[in-house]
Amino acid sequence: MAEHLLEVRNLSVQFHTAGSTVHAVRNISWHLDRGETLAILGESGSGKSVSASAIMNLIDMPPGEITSGEVIFAGRDLLAMSDDERRAINGKRIAMIFQDPLSHLNPVFTVGWQIIEVMRIHGVSADAARARALDLLTRVGIPAPETAMRKYPHQFSGGQRQRLMIAMALALKPDIVIADEPTTALDVTVQAEVLALLGELQKETGLGLLLITHDLGVVADIADRVVVMNAGEIVETGTPDEVYHNPKHPYTRKLISAAPGRGEMHEPNATGEPLLKVENLCKSYGSFTALNGVSFTLQPGETMAVVGESGSGKSTLARALLRLDEADSGHAYWKGRDLLKMPAKELYQLRRQLQMVFQDPTQSLNPRMTVYQLISEAWVIHPEILPKAQWRARVEELLTQVGLSPVHAERYPHQFSGGQRQRIAIARALALRPDLIVCDEAVSALDVSIQAQVIALLDKLRRELGIAFIFIAHDLPVVRDFADHVMVMQAGECVEVGTVRQIFENPQRDYTRRLLDAGLDPDPRVQAARRMPSARVGAEVG
Amino acid sequence: MGKKMMRRIVSSFFSLVALVVMVFFLSRLTGDPAALFLPIDATQEMLDQFRELHGLNDPLIQQFGRYVWDVLHLDFGDSIRKARPAIEVVLESFTWTLQLALITIALVTALAITIGSIAAFRPGGLFDRFVSLVSLVGASAPDFWIAIVGIVIFSITFGWVPTSGTGTVWHWILPVAVLFIRPFGLILQVVRGSMLTAFGSAYVKTARAKGVGNRSIIFVHTLRNAMLPVITVIGDQAAAMLNGAVVVETIFGFPGVGKLMIDSILQRDFNVILAAIMVTALAIFVMNLLIDIAYALLDPRLRT
C-alpha cells in the first residue's frame, strides 16, 4: 500500500467540561493523498473540525484530551512530536484557512505584515518574503497589491479577506491546506469564485486539500472524496457521486433529503386588498444609498422573499418597514394606512401586528430570562391582549405550536440547541398574534436538517394562521421552498420581482441569472454540468 | 479624527470655564482670607487695608470680572501667603507631582502589562493564582496605611530610606512605592482580563496555525489588541495622580500640587487654588489627548 500524504488513524478526542465529558470524535480514521480534495461533511457538533484541530495542534488541553490515535504525516506521528517540531510544520507544510476571515485575521496589523510573518518565522529572508507576498496577492486576485500590503483587514470585502487568507496559507507552498468552512460566510457569487480559486491553486501546486464543510453543494463542487460525520463518528466514505446517489447510512440519506430547493414551488393566487403596499422607499446613510425606490405589495398569508448579497439593502428594508430606522422618503401602506407617517402612539399599537425574528437566536434571546418570561413579556407590554390568568396556558400552547414541549417553559435559552432557540424566538413573535413576521436570515445560522424543520414550521404557521412573511435570505434554495414571491435586490435597488416560479424558472435580468448560477447544487452531476461554462476566476464582482 | 479632536478641545474648554467659575465663587464662600492671614490682634484698620490691597472689598462679580480679565492676559494673580505669582508657586509643585506621576505610571505600566500578560497565558496556573492574589491585595490596600507601615519598617526599623522630604534619590523610593501599589493591582487585573479575552480570539488560532511561537503570540499578536481597555484605565490612574497624590504627598512631606491645593484651601489662598485647578485640568486634558492618539495608533479601525 502506497503511503498517504496524511493519515489519521483511530483518533479519539474528548472534552472535559464541568461535570461531563463530551466525546468529540471517536475512533475516526481517514487519509488524504497528494493532489486530492477530501471533504469532511457534517453538521454542527458532528466533530468534523476536531481532526483538523488535532492536526494543527489547536486543541486546548485541558479541557481537550486526545485519548487515542495517531496522525501520520511524512512518516511520523504528529501527535508524538514536541511543540517546537509541530510549530515548524504548521504554516510551512500544513496550512489552514478559516471560516470567518475577518475575525481570523489580526485587526491591528497590515495584511502585508501578516502574510510576510508566516514566511519570516519559517526562515525566509525579509526581501524574499515581501516579493513572494506581492506575487501571492496578485495570484489570488487582489487589486493593487502594493497598496493592499499596507492596508488592514477591515479595509477589504469579505471575499477579498478570504483571498488574503488563502494567500497566507499558500505562502510557503504547503503540502496540505486545511480549509474549515472557507466559504460559509461569503455571498454566493463570491463563494463560487473562492472555490474556483482553491481548485485552480490545487491543480497548480498539487497540494492535498482537506475541506471541512456542512454544505453538500460545496462537496459536489470540488471534492474528490467525502467523509460524512455524525455525532463524532464517520458514517460513510466515498466519492461525492456515490454518496449522493447511493447513500448507505440513514444519516446520510436524511442529510441529503433535507437539502433545500427541490420541493414543489408555491403558486400564489391571493387577490384583493393587500396587507402591505410599499411604494418608492428610499434611505441613505450619508452619501451611501442603502435603498433606492423599492416598491412591492404583499397579500395576507403570503411570503415575500427578499434576496440579494450582502450590502444589497435587504436588512435596511426590514428596518425601515418596522421603523427601527426612519426611511428618507416613500410610503408603506399597512392595511391602507401609511406606516411611515404614523404617529408614535399609533405605531406602538401597531407594533404587535408586525413582528421580527432575527438571525442569531443566541443573541436575540435574553440569557437571563426563562422561556416563559421571554414569551409572556410581550403581554406585559401589551396587557390588553391576554389577561394574566391565561398567560401560562397560552405559553404552553405556543410552545406546542412551534414544536417544543410545555415543560420547556421554565428553562433558560442556553439549555436549548440553535434550532430550538429559533423556535422560541418564533413563539415569542407569535405571542402577539401578528399579521406579518419579518424574518431576517432567520434560518441561515441553522444546520440543514434543522433549517428544513424550521421552514416547515413557518410554512405551517402561514397556512394555519394566515400570517404573512417578509423573508430576508441569501440562500436561494431555501427561498425556493418557502416563498410565494421573490424580490431580488442589488445595491439598494429592486432588480426583479415576481412569483417564485417566474424568478427561478424564467429570470429576466442578468443579475438574477448570475445569482442563480452561482448557487451550488448538492447533486455532483448537476453541479459539474453547471460548473463547465462558468469556471472563471478574477476580480471580485461588485 | 481631526473633527473629533476639535470637538473635544471645545468641550474641554467649556468644562474648564465652568470649573473656574464654580471654584471662584465657592472658594469665596469659605470666608475672608484677611482673618486667617493677619495676626489675631490685627486692628480693623489693618484688616481693611489688607482687603483693599487684595481687592476683597469690591463686589464679588467685579472681583470675578477682574480675575477673568487678568487670566486672559496670563496673569493668575499673586499668592497671598507667599507673595509671589500664584502660577509660579503652582508650577513649582506641579513639576514635583508630574515627576512622581510619570515615574510611577511608567513602572506600573511596564510591570502590570508584562506580568498580567504572562499570567493570562496559563489561566488558573500557579503563577496566575499568585499574581491574582497580589493584584487583589494591591488594588484594595489603603495607601495611608501602607505609607505609615512603610515608614515604620523601612525608615525607622531598618533606616534604609528617609522618612520624608526631598533631595536625594532615596527620598523618592517610598512615595513611588506606595503610590505604585494600587494602580498596579488594578491595571494588572485589567491586563489579565483583556489578554484572556484576546487569547480566545480567532486570530490567535490563525497565528498558531501559522506556527507562531508563544512569546510572539503574547507580545505581538495579542498584546496590541488587548491594550485598548488597559490604556483607558492607565489614563484614569495617571489623571488621578496628576491631580496630586494628596495622602502620599502629605505623609511624606512631598511638595506636590495635591499638598499645595489642600494647604491653599485651608489658608484661603484663592489665586493659588484657581491656578492649581487650571494647571491640573490642562494636564488631564493633554493626558486624554494622548490616550486618544494612543488608541488610534494601536487600532487602525479607529483611524477614520
**Inter-chain touch B211–A91, beta carbons under 8 Å:** yes
A422 to chain B, minimum CA–CA distance in Å? 26
pLDDT band at residue A152 under the 50/70/90 scheme: very high
How far is the C-alpha of A520 from the C-alpha of A39, rounded, in Å? 15
- Alpha-carbon gap, residue A431 to A448, rounded angstroms: 27
Counting other chains too, the contacts that A514-518 makes at CB distance below 8 Å and 24 or more residues apart are A514/A189, A514/A541, A515/A188, A515/A189, A515/A307, A515/A309, A515/A476, A515/A488, A516/A476, A518/A188, A518/A189, A518/A191, A518/A192
Contact between chains at B210 and A56 (C-beta distance less than 8 A): no
Contacts A96 to B, Cβ<8 Å:
206, 209
Shortest distance between the Cα of A307 and any Cα of chain B, in A, equals: 30
Interchain pair B206, A98: CB under 8 A: yes
**In whole angstroms, what is the distance from residue A489 CA to residue A492 CA?**
6
pTM of this structure? 0.80
**What average pLDDT does the structure give for chain A?**
88
Q: Which chain B residue shows the shortest CA-CA distance from A174?
A: B210
Query: Can you give the pLDDT at residue B3?
Result: 79
Chain B residues bordering chain A (beta-carbon distance below 8 Å): 201-203, 205-213, 216, 221, 224-225, 298-301
What's the mean pLDDT in A387-406? 89
Question: In which region does residue A34 sit, left (phi positive, over 0), alpha (psi from -120 to 50) or beta (all else)?
Answer: beta
Give the integer Cα–Cα distance in Å for A371 and A369: 7
The three-class DSSP label of residue A105 is coil
Which chain A residues are closer than 8 Å to B224 by Cβ? Answer: 108-109
pLDDT in tens, chain B (304 residues): 677 778 888 888 888 889 888 888 888 887 777 777 777 787 888 888 888 887 788 888 888 888 888 888 888 888 887 888 989 999 999 999 999 999 999 999 999 999 999 898 888 889 999 999 988 888 888 888 888 888 888 888 888 888 777 778 888 888 898 899 989 999 999 999 999 999 889 999 999 999 999 999 988 999 989 998 899 899 989 988 887 678 888 888 888 898 899 888 888 888 899 899 889 988 888 888 888 888 888 888 887 6
* Residue B98 to residue B95: CA distance in whole angstroms: 5
Closest CA to A7 of A69, A82, A99: A69
Closest residue, chain B, to A150 (C-alpha) = B300
Question: CB-based contact (8 Å) between A90 and chain B?
Answer: yes
Contact B213 A95 (CB under 8 A): no
Measured between alpha carbons, how far is A406 from B210 in angstroms, rounded to an integer?
Answer: 49
The pLDDT value recorded for residue A535 is: 44
Distance of residue B256 Cα from the nearest chain A Cα, in angstroms: 39
d(CA B242, CA B97): 6
Q: Is the Cβ pair B211, A117 closer than 8 Å?
A: no
Flag whether residue A107 sits within 8 Å of chain B, measured between CB atoms. Answer: yes
Decide if A58 contacts B202 (C-beta within 8 A): no
Q: Do B211 and A152 touch (CB under 8 A)?
A: no
Q: Measure in Å the smallest separation between the Cα of A118 and chain B Cα atoms.
A: 6
Q: Which of A82, A86, A106, A120 to mutate to test the interface with B (most CBs of B within 10 A)?
A: A106
Under a CB-based contact definition with an 8 Å cutoff, are residues A34 and A203 in contact? no
Give the C-alpha separation, A242 to A286, whole Å.
Answer: 53
* CA-based nearest residue to B100, from B277, B240, B227, B235: B240
- In this predicted structure, what is the pLDDT of residue A537? 42
The pLDDT score that the predictor gives to residue B43 is: 81
Judge residue A272's burial from the number of C-beta atoms within 10 Å of its C-beta, 0-12 exposed, 13-18 middle, 19 or more buried. exposed
CA distance B183 to chain A (A): 27
Q: Chain A interface, mutation test: which of B194, B197, B199, B203, most A Cβ atoms within 10 Å?
A: B203
Check whether A542 has a pLDDT greater than 50.
Answer: no
* Cell numbers placing B235: 489614563
Cell numbers for A447: 444546520
Nearest to A475 by CA among A501, A455, A496: A455
Q: Which residues of A fall within a CB distance of 8 Å from B202?
A: 98, 100, 103-104
Considering only the beta carbons, identify the residue of A87, A104, A108 that sits closest to B299. A108
pLDDT(A488) > 90: yes
Task: Give dist(CA B139, CA B153) in Å, integer.
Answer: 21
Cβ pair B138, B112 in contact under 8 A: no
Of B211, B225, B299, the CB nearest to A88: B211
CA distance B119 to chain A (A): 17
Partners of A92 on chain B (C-beta within 8 Å) are 211
> Are B78 and B264 within 8 A, CB to CB?
no
CA torsion, ordered A428, A430, A432, A434, to nearest 10 deg: 140
Backbone angles phi and psi of A202, in degrees to 5: -65, -40
DSSP strands (E only) in A260-368: 276-285, 288-298, 303-307, 329-334, 337-338, 354-357
Subunit contact B300:A108, Cβ cutoff 8 A: yes
Judge whether A100 is closer than 8 Å to chain B, CB to CB: yes
Say which amino acid occupies A254: K
Cβ of A95 within 8 Å of Cβ of B210? The answer is yes
Q: Does A360 or B210 have the greater pLDDT score?
A: B210
For residue B188, the number of C-alpha atoms closer than 13 Å in the C-beta half-sphere is 28
Write the Ramachandran bin of B140: left for phi over 0, alpha for psi from -120 to 50, otherwise beta.
alpha
Name the band, by pLDDT with cuts 50, 70 and 90, for residue A536: very low
Which of B216, B221, B300 is facing A152, going by the closest CB pair? B300
A30/A542: higher pLDDT: A30
For residue range A294-310, list pLDDT tens digits in order: 999 999 989 999 998 88
Q: What share of chain A is helix, strand, coil (3-state, %, to 5)?
A: 40, 25, 35
Spatial CA neighbour of A13 closest among A215, A212, A233: A233
**How far is the C-alpha of B270 from the C-alpha of A314, rounded, in Å?**
63
Q: Do A58 and B205 touch (CB under 8 A)?
A: yes
- Contact residues on chain A for B203, CB-CB shorter than 8 A: 103-107
Query: Which range has the top average pLDDT, A97-101, A149-153, A376-380?
Result: A149-153
| Phi, psi torsion values for A76, nearest 5 degrees | -125, 155
CA distance to partner chain B, nearest, from residue A291 (Å) = 24
Amino acid A2: pLDDT: 62
Neighbours of A171 (CB within 10 A): 24
Smallest CA–CA distance, residue A423 to chain B, in Å, is 29
- Dist. CA B241–CA B94, nearest whole Å: 11
Q: How many CB pairs below 8 A link A and B?
A: 69
pLDDT at A541: 39
Alpha helix (H) residue ranges in A16-151 = 50-56, 83-89, 101-104, 111-121, 126-139, 145-149
Element (H, E) at B61: helix B60-72
* Torsions phi, psi for A178 (to 5 deg): -105, 125
Average pLDDT value for residue range A371-384:
89
CB A179 within 8 A of CB A211: yes
Residue A325 neighbours by CB under 8 Å, 6+ apart: A283, A316, A319
* pLDDT range class, residue A262, cuts 50, 70, 90: confident
Interface subset of A 56-85, CB within 8 angstroms of B: 56-58
Q: What distances in angstroms separate CA A302 from CA A141, A249, A441, A533, B193, one per listed residue?
A: 43, 37, 17, 36, 50
Q: What percent of chain A has pLDDT over 70?
A: 98
Do B202 and A98 make contact, defined as CB atoms within 8 angstroms? yes
CB contact A93 to B (< 8 Å): no
Q: How many residues does chain B have?
A: 304
Instruction: Tell which of A55, A100, A103, A104 to mutate to test the B interface (max B CBs under 10 Å).
Output: A104
Confidence grade of residue A131 (pLDDT, cut at 50, 70, 90):
very high
Chain B hits for A100, Cβ within 8 Å: 202
Tell me what the mean pLDDT of segment A89-114 comes to: 92
The reply to whether residue B209 touches residue A58, judged by beta carbons under 8 angstroms, is: yes
Which of left, alpha, beta for B268 (phi over 0: left; psi -120 to 50: alpha)? left
The DSSP line for B114-155 is HHHHHHHHSTTSHHHHHHHHHHHHHHHS-HHHHHHHHIIIII
Question: Which among A25, A110, A17 is positioned nearest to A66, based on CA atoms?
Answer: A25
ipTM summary value: 0.78
Does residue A118 sit at the B interface (CB-CB below 8 Å)?
yes
Residue whose cell numbers read 496605611: B145
User: Which residues, numbered 141 to 180 in chain A, qualify as contacts with chain B under a Cβ-Cβ cut-off of 8 Å?
Assistant: 152, 154, 168
C-alpha cell at A216: 453538500
- The mean-pLDDT minimum among A219-228, A242-251, B80-89 falls in B80-89
A117 touches chain B (CB under 8 A): yes
Cell readout for A340 is 411611515
